[in-house]
Amino acid sequence: MKSYLLSLLLLPILFGGVVRAQVVLSGPTIQLPKVRIVPHNEYPTYGEYVSLMERFADLYPDVCELEDWGTLPSGRRILTLRITKDIATTAGKPKVLCTAAMHGDELAGYWLMLQLAEDLLRHDRTRLLDDLEIYINPLANPDGAYHHNDRSLARSRRGNANGVDLNRNYPDPDDGAHPDGQTYQPETQIFMRAARSHGFDLALNVHGGAEVFNYPWDTYRNRHPDNVWWRRVSREFAQRAQIASGRANYFDDRQNGVTNGHDWYPIAGSRQDYMNYYHRCREATLEVSDVKRFPAGGLAELWTFVRTPIYGYLNEARNGLHGFVIDDLTGQPIAANVIIPDHDHQNSDVIADRETGDFHRYLTAGTYEVKFSAAGYLPQLRTVVIHDDRRVDMNVRLRRASPGGIEARRK
């Protein structure tokens, strides 16, 4: 680690700034720094972690910026990288959140998310940044991870500084506002605020202690309205992980690497259910390793196991139904409700962004009737055919309603 830090300090001195190399991939020429900044098979100290996050934003200002979501009473910060092409003009792109180490002793995801950020910034082979706005928060519980001191993860623990399990601390659609009997912790408040302000469409919460893709619900016995979509996505993730690892026994927990949360064991106050229910996001929980305090020496190999399936999941944000809802006369965006009658319930519908009017609805293959509605406007019905691994764009102009009854009209 010392040699890694020394290389960062000496690089500007020896070369007069960032050394870049021209590398031609498919599409236009892009520039890549010669030096990688994520340490190989080594967890950073907390101070090094902060420096890494700042360094990403400095190296790639056109596609990356560092967001400071909040400072904990300990002084440690919840940091998130916002990564997308043409970062100043991103209206209409699906917003995807990747986060890890919510449980401070589940460590592999911490390094994996740093590696994901660097991989996207250096390569982006599938051009995800053209179409998506990706947010990466590698360390959701820094007080738990660096429980003893900022230099070592050896005494990391599951809970935060107050010993609270953050994945039981969220409002629950079945068990109410405070299912664990605790006040909302500083970390919880920070993430709830970020969810409100950003409006994420797809999310992945990385944990450790098992090898399985966990999909909602955690709190309800009944299935999510988009259960067929969730089962396909989770099965594809598991299959990709098994193939990439080349091992017969990797990612085979529960139903061969897949589980519904409640079927595994019901919990209340999970962030997964909070995001899916209260924010109409599609968030899953990924358990990447049977070992919680994953040994640093195996991190690079573990990345080769999960890189392809993580990219496959991120790619799902491109698929499904996408579009804008605007006022027919003014062209202004409308925060319209986008619902599939006789299909959506338990907040599985989505709402168009009030500032830009864009919406993103992930669905399994089939034919759907979609209803667009907003207060003061005539509802509109549209029929759409969805194919797996395909994108359908649908832009909707809603007409203001005249006084009197309002009936849905088909266009």
Comparing C-alpha atoms, which of 218, 208, 231, 209 is closest to residue 265?
A: 218
Q: Quick check: is 287 catalytic?
A: yes
Point out the catalytic residue in the list 133, 187, 211, 287.
287
Question: Amino acid identity, residue 350?
Answer: V
Nearest Cα neighbor of 14 from 32, 31, 34 is 34
Buried b / exposed e over 191-203, threshold 16 CB at 10 Å, is bbebbeebbbbbb
Strand partners, 83: 64, 134
Cβ proximity of 105 and 158 under 8 Å: yes
Other Cβ atoms within 10 Å of 107 Cβ, number = 25
Sign of torsion over alpha carbons 258, 252, 144, 56: negative
Give which of 166, 160, 84, 158 is closest to 121, Cα–Cα: 84
CB neighbours of residue 150 within 10 Å:
16
Burial class (CB in 10 A: 0-12, 13-18, 19+), 277: buried
Residues assigned a catalytic role: 287
